[in-house]
Structure formats: C-alpha cells, structure tokens
Amino acid sequence: MTFSRKKSSYFIIIPLFSILFISCSAQIDGFVRDGGTAEFRLKTALEPRTATLIRSIMNFMSDTGNVNILDGEAIGKSMSSAPGIRSVTLKNTAPAALEGVISLANVGDFLTLTGAGNGAGSGAGGGAGGSAGRSRFITYTGGRTAGSSSIILVLDMNSAPEIIAMLSPDVEEYLSALMAPAVLAETSTKQEYLDLLASIYGRPLANEIYAARIRASIEFPGPVTSVSGGKAAGRMAEFDIPLIDILVLETPLRYEISW
C-alpha cells in the first residue's frame, strides 16, 4: 500500500458543508435528449455517523452559525461555475440532506478536463478531435439512426482529482479529510482504505461508507441497445454504484450506453 497519511492536517480544516456523493447515499433520476441536453434530479443525504462527525468538527471550529451540515445553496453556487453546467438549484430538506436539479447544456461538455487526453468529441453528429489540450470525462456521440448514439463515462486516478476540484474546493478539502485516494491521487485497495478510516474514525463509520451507494435511473431519446456497468429496459438505464468504488478507484470506472 502506498497510501500515505501526509494529509492529516486536513482533520482540522474540514469545511462547513460537504457535497453530494460524499459519504452519503444518493438517488439520481434524469434524462438525456437529442442534441445532448440533459437534466438530473438529485436526492442525497449524509449517513448518520458521517453527519455526526461533520457536526462535531463544526462545533470544534466554533462555527455554530450554520445549522445545515450540507448547505444546498452554497454547494449549488460552487457547482454552477463548473464546465458544461447550465444551472444548478439545490435546497435543504434537512440539515444533512438536500435535493435539487442539475441542468446541462450538453452532456459531453460536462466537466471537460484541461489536461491533454483523447479529445473525444461531443454534440450532435459526434464531433471528432475536441479542443486542443482538453479531454473529456464524458464522451457523447449523437447519431441520426437507431443504435448510433452513445455516452461513455470514464473515471480514473488521472481525471478524478481534477474533476472533484472543479466541482468545489470544499469537496476537495472534505474528501482530503476523509483521506479518499481518488482525491489524494494515492494508490490503495478498498480494504486498505476502509482499515485506515477505521483506525482514525472507528469501524462503524468505515462500515457506513462501505454500505453507501449511488443509484441512478436515466432516460434516453431512444431504446437502449447496450449498456455496460448497469442494466437497461426500454429507454431507461439504471446503475447501482458502491460509493467506495468512486472514493478509491482501485480500478477505473467505465460506463457506456448506446441507443
């Protein structure tokens, strides 16, 4: 294991709010339309032990003015400047829970990376090459015949830190406090990471993170002809992703949907 503890200083600078997908369970329902526009409705909540941990750190920092552990308004503002996002509306349904809508002008432009990469195109007709010096987290190809449209999503140790940093600096700091390998660009197995969490925060918290899942149900413009990493029925593709897979990225995550 090459995962280090050099980020221990983050234990006292955890921000006052965390973010979707972080030590939580989440449900995402949405649609992708012809041309690549997309809209996703999110419901997410911190798990109880994680919420207690964040609240205790907030109290330690004497930041008692914010009653929300998750701050929907602040998270929405930080996300709204990320590449490809048309609008974000998030609101609190409880101090540790929020819901809202994330709208994309083109799914292929979502979180476009600045580093050199495959430069896969996006938009209707698929576009080839992309912008010089930029690569894509999501590759969208919009064809004109059945079975010729697709979305490919790839998350690995090269892209994850930049993607998380683009979403919000607070996300990056919070995940650093949780020592997530995907943020620190450190190599770890899932079991090694869980053992490290247990040694710092206790086994119950590690078990809570292990059990958390991201569930998504997405509608596409036509019947789904193939899907990897999930299942499909008609126009719908469904995914059930363990949060630990995203936090550790022991192996790259790749999802592909064709319709």
pLDDT single digits (tens) 122-147: 444 443 334 444 567 889 998 777 76
DSSP 232-248: EETTEEEEEEEHHHHHH
> Residue 155 is encoded by which pair of tokens?
């998350």
DSSP 93-144: EETTEEEEEEEES-GGGTT-BSS-------SBT--SS-STT-B-SEEEEB-S
Q: How confident is the model at residue 234 (pLDDT cuts 50, 70, 90)?
A: very high
> What is the arrangement of strands in the sheet containing 97-104, beginning at the earlier edge strand?
85-94, 97-104, 38-46, 24-32, 213-219, 236-242, 231-233
Identity (one letter) of the amino acid at 121?
G
7 versus 85: which is more confidently predicted?
85
Q: How confident is the model at residue 216 (pLDDT cuts 50, 70, 90)?
A: very high
Q: How confident is the model at residue 63 (pLDDT cuts 50, 70, 90)?
A: low
Q: How confident is the model at residue 80 (pLDDT cuts 50, 70, 90)?
A: confident
112 versus 216: which is more confidently predicted?
216
Q: How far is CA 52 from each of CA 49, 72, 213, rounded to the nearest angstrom?
A: 5, 18, 19
CB 102 within 8 A of CB 79: yes
CB 53 within 8 A of CB 205: yes
pLDDT at 32: 95
Distance of alpha carbon 150 from alpha carbon 143, whole angstroms: 8
pLDDT at 173: 62
CB 246 within 8 A of CB 221: no
pLDDT at 148: 86
pLDDT at 52: 79
pLDDT at 83: 82
Output b/e per residue, 9-48; b: 16+ Cβ within 10 A: ebeeebbbbbbbbbbbbbebebbbeeebebbbebbbbbbe
Task: Check pLDDT > 50 for residue 108.
Answer: yes
Looking at mean pLDDT, say which of 70-84, 149-163, 238-252 comes out highest. 238-252
Task: Check pLDDT > 90 for residue 65.
Answer: no
Distance of alpha carbon 151 from alpha carbon 40, whole angstroms: 15
Average pLDDT, the chain: 77
- What are 165-214's pLDDT values in tens digits? 776 665 566 676 678 888 888 889 999 999 999 998 899 989 988 988 88
